[in-house]
Amino acid sequence: MRDALLSIGHHVGTSALEWLDGAAHLFAFPPDVPVLDVNTNRHVKPLAEFALAGSIAVREGATGSRQAQISPVLMDYAWNALGNGSFLHELQLAMPVETYPMEIYAMFTRAGYRHPELEVLLAHLGRLRAAHARELLPNRQLALTNSARLIGLEPHADEAELVARTWLGNASEPWALDFATAYAMTHTVFHLSDWAGQPERLPRRMVDYLRRWLPVWLDVYREAQQWDLVGELLMVDLCLPDPEFPADTWIAYATAQNEDGLMPFGSEAPPEDTEDAFRNYYHPTVVAAVAGTLLVSRGIATLTGATDTRETVGG
Amino acid sequence: MSRLDADPPPRLSYTTAVDALAASVVRAFRGADDTYRISDHVGLLPDRRAELAALRVLGVDALTPFLVRNRPVLADDLAVFDEVVTVFPSDSTRVTTSVVRRLRHWFLEEVLTELTGAGKGTAYPRSADELAPNDGTPWQPWSVFMAQVSTMALPGWVTPVHLAASRRTEDLARGAARALLRGDPYTAARLARWLALQPDVPPELGLAGLLEHVDLLAARDPRTQLEVAVAQHLLEVGRS
């Protein structure tokens, strides 16, 4: 079953990256928007997600030749769209407490891109009292501590304290969950483990909790055909030190994906035209790209760890 | 003749009778009714058949005030069941009868035998052993099955079903959380009743809080409240 799962991961991830590649022009900032008029949710978030998918694919490296081919191209494209980082620098200068510039920049550092001036600015802002009194939910603050770690800056807060204030860190009643809280829960895991890059950073108690309750949420949201969230929950599994790789859910998830790589959000069929589909479907497709990539890399790691016969794995 | 004059359809009057009986069991648990009598529930409604059907549907659950709340049982209360099984005979011998019905019927007979002190009871149905979900059944269908036989979730019994419940506490808890998230408080309550018997409930589930929550959700559903009342009582007894 592992081999079949690897090919599912490969297909889900590669076709999603191909869709993102084809839609790349839609992620770019409109060039005529002045920095102060930039709407972070509208203009910045899509590109941040785009860069996330590319950076994880670059980090995980040889998860397939097609992926290895596309992901650096995507990152180059996004970095260029950001003026090789200078747009992030301008944005951060204009909006000193805005967090997106640092979060997006961190993704590029993951793939080896650097902008020294921006780093000087980020270090300065990090020394302000304002940086230690952010009006943000604890799971969002974990995005910042992870970003700081990736860039090589001092995190603004103690992660253990932040975790203790999250829904997940409190080992909350697993039935006291709604859609928004489920997303918050998944992101607590993503930021703490740097998107499965460091599973060992998850506290033991959290791992035990997730092992027990993740199957429940996967079951419920799969039945409800909430594919965006199912993709995120499958990623949570891949962030654990010893993933379960739930085959049934992976098969259902892969089956929900369009042939062109687009992943539907829920049970409603997406529009056929890429431009029409972009706004509502780029997110589930980014999730599919990351989830598929991680399934392959963590699957291979598990196989090699278990058998230590590297030669047989690629075949 | 206007439609309003027509007799209600039997399903409706059966539901009303089941709810009335369940509400009365709940009162017996929650202290407002010291004189719980099964015999009081027969001959009250114009439709005697519906009242007997209610006893058939609730089965052992109608006896729980005597079994776990220690309300005194009278011969009249048990005699009613002779009429129940005559009007609604068991179909346990039929091949098509579900394992859930077989088990519920067997359990009712066992409990009546115990309460009347007549004889030794009958052996656990072998067909149930063969047909019931087993340890290889995934937690979702297994927990749904366990919810369907929640009437057996009483202390002091050792059957394959009770043993499975104690072996798979985590799966009961998963089933309860799943049911609540799927908007099915009744199933959640029935699984919580099994959990109330187990010493190793995952603490994160927050069983007492879950029961309170289900109780509030099901304020208008006596059958769910019955499961909650039994579970809360078991939990309290287990703690003391």
State the pLDDT confidence band at A188, using cuts at 50, 70 and 90: very high
Taking the C-alpha atoms of residue A289 and residue A57, their distance in angstroms, rounded to an integer, is 8
A223 touches chain B (CB under 8 A): yes
Structure letter (DSSP) for residue A96: T
> Can you tell me the mean pLDDT for A192-215?
98
Residue B41 has a pLDDT of 85
Judged against a pLDDT cut of 50, whether residue B138 lies above it is answered with yes
Token representation of residue B116: 């009347």
Residues on chain A touching B178 (C-beta within 8 angstroms): 216, 219-220
Q: How far is CA B135 from the centre of its chain?
A: 23
CB contact under 8 A, A174 and B204: yes
Residue A45 has a pLDDT of 87
CB contact under 8 A, B174 and A216: yes
Residue B5 has a pLDDT of 58
- Asked whether the beta carbons of A159 and A112 are under 8 A apart, the reply is no
Token representation of residue B141: 């269908």
> What does the H/E/C string look like for chain A?
CHHHHHHHHHHHHHHHHHHHHHCHHHHCCCCCCCHHHCCHHHHHHHHHHHHHHHHHHHHHCCCCHHHHHHHHHHHHHHHHHCHHHHHHHHHHHHCCCCCHHHHHHHHHHHCCCCCHHHHHHHHHHHCCHHHHCCCCCHHHHHHHHHHHHHHCCCCCCCHHHHHHCCCCCCCCCCCCCCHHHHHHHHHHHHHHCCCCCCHHHCCHHHHHHHHHHHHHHHHHHHHCCCHHHHHHHHHHHHHCCCCCCCHHHHHHHHHHCCCCCCCCCCCCCCCCCHHHHHHHHHHHHHHHHHHHHHHHHHHHHHHHHHHCCHHHHCC
- Asked whether the beta carbons of B102 and B148 are under 8 A apart, the reply is no
Residue A197 has a pLDDT of 96
Tally C-beta pairs within 8 A across A and B.
43
Out of A299-303, B116-120, B156-160, B207-211, which region has the weakest mean confidence (pLDDT)? Answer: B116-120
State the pLDDT confidence band at B33, using cuts at 50, 70 and 90: low
> Can you tell me the mean pLDDT for B145-166?
96
A111 touches chain B (CB under 8 A): no
CB contact under 8 A, B204 and A172: yes
Taking the C-alpha atoms of residue B41 and residue B55, their distance in angstroms, rounded to an integer, is 9
Residues on chain A touching B210 (C-beta within 8 angstroms): 173, 175
Which carries the bigger pLDDT value, residue B5 or residue B100? B100
Residue B150 has a pLDDT of 98
A93 touches chain B (CB under 8 A): no
Token representation of residue A222: 């799969």
H/E stretch holding B26 reads helix B10-29
Taking the C-alpha atoms of residue B78 and residue A269, their distance in angstroms, rounded to an integer, is 58
Judged against a pLDDT cut of 60, whether residue A81 lies above it is answered with yes
- Asked whether the beta carbons of A140 and A192 are under 8 A apart, the reply is no
Residues on chain A touching B170 (C-beta within 8 angstroms): 212
Taking the C-alpha atoms of residue B153 and residue B168, their distance in angstroms, rounded to an integer, is 14
Token representation of residue B214: 């289900």
Structure letter (DSSP) for residue B119: S
pLDDT in tens, A158-184: 999 999 999 999 999 999 999 999 999
Residue A301 has a pLDDT of 84
> Can you tell me the mean pLDDT for B64-86?
89
> Can you tell me the mean pLDDT for A273-298?
93
Out of A204-218, B74-88, B197-211, which region has the weakest mean confidence (pLDDT)? Answer: B74-88
pLDDT in tens, B175-199: 999 999 999 999 999 999 999 999 9
Closest CA to B98 of B127, B61, B62, B122: B127
Average pLDDT score, chain B: 90
Taking the C-alpha atoms of residue A149 and residue A49, their distance in angstroms, rounded to an integer, is 19
State the pLDDT confidence band at A309, using cuts at 50, 70 and 90: very low
Taking the C-alpha atoms of residue A83 and residue A87, their distance in angstroms, rounded to an integer, is 6
Helix axis angle, A274-307 relative to A247-256, nearest 10°?
Answer: 150
> Can you tell me the mean pLDDT for A247-276?
93
Out of A4-18, A25-39, A139-153, which region has the weakest mean confidence (pLDDT)? Answer: A25-39
> What does the H/E/C string look like for B122-177?
CCCCHHHHHHCCCCCCCHHHHHHHHHHCHHHCCCCCCCHHHHHHHHCHHHHHHHHH
Share of chain B above pLDDT 70, in %: 94
Neighbours of A258 (CB within 10 A): 18
Taking the C-alpha atoms of residue B190 and residue B225, their distance in angstroms, rounded to an integer, is 10
State the pLDDT confidence band at A311, using cuts at 50, 70 and 90: very low
Q: What is the value of ipTM here, to two decimals?
A: 0.92
CB contact under 8 A, A215 and B139: yes
SS3 content of chain A, % helix, strand, coil (to 5): 70, 0, 30
- For A3, how many CA atoms within 13 A lie in the half-sphere containing its CB? 4
Judged against a pLDDT cut of 70, whether residue A110 lies above it is answered with yes
- Asked whether the beta carbons of B46 and B87 are under 8 A apart, the reply is no
Amino acid in position B89: P
